[in-house]
Amino acid sequence: MTPESHRRRPLPRRAAPAVLLCLVLLAAPALALGPAPPIVWEATFEGEGTPFATDVLSDLAVNGVGEICATGLSAVESGATAAATVYYEPDGTERWRHLYVAPETAGVEEGLAVFLDDTGRCRVAGRRSSAETGPDVLVLEYGPQGDLLWSASWDGETSGGFDVAVDVTADAAGNVYAVALTAGDGTGWDFVTLKVDATGEQLWARTFDGPLAAEDRPVGVEVDADGNVYVAGTASVSNPFADDLVVIKYDPDGNELWSELLDGGVGGADKAAALALDADGHPYVAARLLQPPGAEWQAGVVKLLPDGSHDWTGTFGHPAAGIPEDVRGLALGIDGAVTVLATGSDDVVTGRFDAAGTLVWDHLHDNVSIADLAARPLAVDSDGNAYVVAYDFVPDRGYDFFTYRLEAADGAFAWGQTFGEEGEEADDFPGVVAVDARGDLLVGGTVKPGGITFENDWTILKYGASQLFADGFETGDTSAWSSTSG
């Protein structure tokens, strides 16, 4: 595809709604206004490396029966890491674990994204090391009992270049799709979309290089019920520092159906953050957009139709608080509503749009932050309530997980609580939040056990949100919160 084939569209500026509910919470975040759900279980992964080794959680997924597959990295020997994958039963029992190290070399292997279906098949994507080709794209598939069904790798056009997958998904036929960042041959950073069949055989690979042949970075891949593949990211379009959002649609055979370059309106450094797809094949892209008038940064979401035409763009921001400095999360509700998460220097703002793209509310939470490596810090439940995992500084303890809930109707702060290991040096950073089919909450991240400075484990917590009122807890009662939260 030549650069001239890209369609570039300025995004329309949506007029501010006549009534907008904006909530700003400046109180200490550890103060819960309602009942916090109990911790049902806590599962900690400690790898097989030497003492003071590093184990880092990158992503987790939960299927329709409540089983969980988590991936990340685990130190196996000095200077080497494995792509670690762990499977948990709904009650937190570890069913299996696997540490993948490329057969021909012990280098840096890492799982960065995971997709889990209801049959218990777990797909992992990330990177592997090769002495000849450098870091390559890695895709793994595990069976329900932890048997490695196949592994696949992909090396880009540049010998020894850096190639790493950032997202993975699968279709009903068992085909697996990954999108990856790749070092182009004289084209800067590009991104590649891979389709692998159910046996691990690569069917096709399609590379995207933007108009400037410079810094193009992917954020997500999705597949619809017909096998069409959607990819989103950021493309460099002109100097200096002019970037657009890009969305590409491929048919099941890898033929490009359309690609759209989407400009915030003033030719600035717009930045894609996340991709989601609804059941009708509408792609949504969360992004930071430079919007007129006044060229202010806004957090927002762009919705396209299945043919690539623009449906709506919704935005919000708090310029006085430096928000958005970045956009970090996107979640679709079953009612068509869309929730977006953005950050400032020490603040987090969450905004909810209805199905027509009108901003219903936004909520600014002060003095908390999203971890740099957090993959999925936002989730919504079936009622549209939003859950955010951030980190908060606790005196004499360091940084702890801080999980909080915002009500769907008005963005009101419902509850929030901290979790962390004891010890002044125990900096604990959450990275992922998910909601299972029962409405229970899963939170995962990396912790320093016992305050040990040079060791990391990963921890996954399950909060019994679906049982919050089952035992007669009254509003304001936080006694159900486990004492292990510290």
DSSP secondary structure string for all residues of 177-205: EEEEEEE-SSS-EEEEEEEE-TTS-EEEE
Residue 425 main-chain phi, psi, to 5 deg: -95, 5
Q: Is the pTM of this model over 0.85?
A: yes
* Distance between start and end Cα atoms, the chain: 55
Q: Read off the pLDDT of each residue in 1-12 and give the average, rounded to a whole number.
A: 51
Q: What pLDDT is attached to residue 254?
A: 98
Pair 174, 123: CB distance under 8 Å = no
How buried is 186 (Cβ within 10 angstroms: 0-12 exposed, 13-18 middle, 19+ buried)?
exposed
Instruction: For residue 330, give the H/E element and its range.
Output: strand 326-332
Look at the block and give the residue holding tokens 């892209």: 285
Query: Quick check: 484 pLDDT over 60?
Result: no
- Secondary structure percentages of the chain, helix, strand, coil, to 5: 5, 55, 45
Mean pLDDT, all residues of the chain: 84
- Percentage of residues in the chain having pLDDT higher than 70: 82
Pair 376, 3: CB distance under 8 Å = no
pLDDT band at 432 (very low <50, low <70, confident <90, very high): very high
Query: Quick check: 17 pLDDT over 90?
Result: no
Which has the minimum average pLDDT: 107-121, 202-216, 302-316? 202-216
Instruction: For residue 10, give the H/E element and its range.
Output: strand 7-10
The pair of three-digit structure tokens given for residue 11, joined into one six-digit string? 């995004």
Q: What pLDDT is attached to residue 270?
A: 87
Q: What pLDDT is attached to residue 214?
A: 76
Q: Read off the pLDDT of each residue in 117-132 and give the average, rounded to a whole number.
A: 91
- For residue 465, the SS3 value is helix
Which has the minimum average pLDDT: 21-30, 79-88, 208-217? 21-30
Q: What pLDDT is attached to residue 74?
A: 93
Look at the block and give the residue holding tokens 């901003």: 359
Q: What pLDDT is attached to residue 15?
A: 41
- For residue 7, the SS3 value is strand
What the chain holds in terms of domains, given with CATH numbers, is 20-468 (2.130.10.150)
User: Which residue type, as a one-letter code, is found at position 30?
Assistant: A
pLDDT in tens, 229-256: 999 999 988 766 678 899 999 999 999 9
Q: Read off the pLDDT of each residue in 216-226 and give the average, rounded to a whole number.
A: 96
Query: Quick check: 348 pLDDT over 80?
Result: yes
CA distances from 281 to 174, 277, 311, 337 (A): 19, 6, 12, 15
Spatial neighbors of 452 by CB under 8 A, at least 6 apart, are 52, 423, 425
Given its phi and psi angles, is residue 227 left (phi above 0), alpha (psi -120 to 50 degrees) or beta? left
- Percentage of residues in the chain having pLDDT higher than 90: 58
Q: What pLDDT is attached to residue 30?
A: 38
- For residue 374, the SS3 value is coil
